[in-house]
Amino acid sequence: MAFKNTSQRSWWEKESMSFTRDLIVVGSGITGLSTALFWKRRHPQARILVLDRGFWPTGATGRNAGFACFGSAGELVDDLVHESEESVKDRLRLRLEGLDLLRNELGDEHIGYAMTGGYEIFDTTDDPHYRESIAQMPRFSKWVEEITGVPNSYESRTVNGYPSIFNGLEGYLNSGMLMQRLLQKVSEAGVEVRWNTPVSEVMAQKVTLSDGLELAADRVLLATNGYSSTLHGETAVQPARGYAFVTKPLKKLPWHGSCHYNRGYVYFRDLGDRLLIGGARDVDKPTETSIENEINPRIRQWLIDFVSNQLNVDHNWEIDTEWTGVMGFGATKTPECRKTSDGVYLAAGLGGMGVAIGMKLAQNMVQLLDEEQGG
């Protein structure tokens, strides 16, 4: 028989366990944990509780590829088709500042960060997208220089026979180390984190767990990214599943750094003497709106063929570990950071950029919470 909590409380539970929290955060990914950390820092007396349904964070933060990237030239060219120059530049700034914040907060050595540089590769110089990206390079380099002070960051190069655009400021990190470091900081700061605690309902000032237990809080923040629509109807953020795998060790791995292909849909990097590759969601986008961690055989096969036919690694390479994770994509590439009409706060919709913008989004959320509190 399944255990069901009720609203019945013992004297002791009532007195010492079920007090009203100042803030309950649902979701222990980079967004939820960073918000809890920054809020606690500003309000040391605040009682903050982070809830996650998994035994550890089971969203995209621990399932990504670890690219600490801010935008390939091809991605920026694509963005300019849909958005104004101002919003594309704003996001570039957000990503660059977000990466700085992440590195300063957690420390490069604790998150395995390396500024390796990154290549965006193209099949041929005749590709109109390549030509447009090359033509726009000076403009994008100028934007990056305005933000970082580093000139000419985008350069045309050939890598392993592919025409490419290199940016020396791109890099990657170890997502497992990032999670561990962030959890360590959160626990040292005195934030309470509860695992294996699926939430079934959120309302202003109240969170209901799947076992029926109700918890009270002055504020409730949903930091559930791709899962947000399962808990709140008032969000445009929808799930978008991503797939990745790591190969067994390779003798021949001619790639170093964070590499992109096909407008950023495909991404790959070295991981010691292994290759980590993921993406290709565009091969079957309609199926990849699921929140189930299942592997799509079409996408898997596409990536296998890409590695075998285009990346020039050992011919008998094998997959070691493969997985999926769920991202959240909103109506635009700008994440939602707001209070909903029923008083719940929402920070979600980080797309494929959460490593870079997760902490910045958390900072913005803390500012919003403070403004609302008159702090």
Ligand X SMILES: Cc1cc2nc3c(=O)[nH]c(=O)nc-3n(C[C@H](O)[C@H](O)[C@H](O)COP(=O)(O)OP(=O)(O)OC[C@H]3O[C@@H](n4cnc5c(N)ncnc54)[C@H](O)[C@@H]3O)c2cc1C
Q: Which is nearer to ligand X, 32 or 117 (CB)?
A: 32
Q: Two tokens at 129? A: 């997208």
Give least dist CB 10 to ligand X, A: 25
- Residues numbered 109 to 128 that lie near ligand X (CB under 6 A) are none
356 near ligand X (CB under 6 A): yes
The DSSP code for 245 is E
Query: Total residues contacting ligand X (rule CB under 6 A)?
Result: 41
32 near ligand X (CB under 6 A): yes
List Cα–Cα distances, 100 to 15, 87, 239, 288, in angstroms: 43, 20, 27, 31
Q: Which is nearer to ligand X, 88 or 134 (CB)?
A: 88
Question: Among 23, 24, 30, 365, which residue sits at the site for ligand X (rule: CB under 6 A)?
Answer: 30
53 near ligand X (CB under 6 A): yes
Q: Two tokens at 199? A: 């939430």
Site string (169-208) toward ligand X, x via CB under 6 A: -----------------------------xx---------
Give least dist CB 88 to ligand X, A: 17
67 near ligand X (CB under 6 A): yes
Q: Which is nearer to ligand X, 74 or 352 (CB)?
A: 352
Residues 6+ apart with CB under 8 A from 71: 79, 91, 92, 95, 140
Q: Which is nearer to ligand X, 134 or 231 (CB)?
A: 231
Q: Which is nearer to ligand X, 88 or 326 (CB)?
A: 326
Give least dist CB 106 to ligand X, A: 14
- Residues numbered 317 to 346 that lie near ligand X (CB under 6 A) are 325, 327
Q: Which span (5-13, 213-221, 224-232, 366-374) binds ligand X, by CB under 6 A?
A: 224-232
Question: Among 358, 364, 365, 369, which residue sits at the site for ligand X (rule: CB under 6 A)?
Answer: 358
Residues 6+ apart with CB under 8 A from 60: 29, 225, 226, 242, 325, 326, 327, 328, 350, 354
Q: Write out 251-287 in H/E/C secondary structure.
A: CCCCCCCEEEECCCCEEEEEECCEEEEEECHHHHHHH
Segment 329-332 long-range contacts (CB within 8 Å, at least 24 positions apart): 329/226, 329/237, 329/238, 329/240, 330/235, 330/236, 330/237, 330/238, 331/236, 332/83
List Cα–Cα distances, 94 to 108, 148, 350, in angstroms: 19, 12, 12
Site string (245-284) toward ligand X, x via CB under 6 A: ---------------------------------x------
H or E element that contains 372: helix 354-373
Contact predicate 188/180, CB 8 Å: no
167 near ligand X (CB under 6 A): no
H or E element that contains 339: strand 336-339
Q: Which is nearer to ligand X, 165 or 276 (CB)?
A: 276
In which region does residue 24 sit, left (phi positive, over 0), alpha (psi from -120 to 50) or beta (all else)?
Answer: beta
311 near ligand X (CB under 6 A): no
Give least dist CB 128 to ligand X, A: 27
Question: Among 21, 22, 23, 28, which residue sits at the site for ligand X (rule: CB under 6 A)?
Answer: 28
Question: Among 225, 247, 296, 364, which residue sits at the site for ligand X (rule: CB under 6 A)?
Answer: 225
Q: Which span (63-71, 86-94, 187-195, 364-372) binds ligand X, by CB under 6 A?
A: 63-71
Closest CA to 346 of 338, 355, 358, 335: 338
Give least dist CB 34 to ligand X, A: 8
Give least dist CB 324 to ligand X, A: 7
237 near ligand X (CB under 6 A): no
Contact predicate 293/323, CB 8 Å: yes
61 near ligand X (CB under 6 A): yes
Residues 6+ apart with CB under 8 A from 249: 272, 273, 274
Length of the chain: 375
Binding site for ligand X (CB under 6 A): 26-32, 51-54, 57-61, 63-67, 198-199, 223-227, 231, 242, 244, 278, 325, 327, 350, 352-356, 358
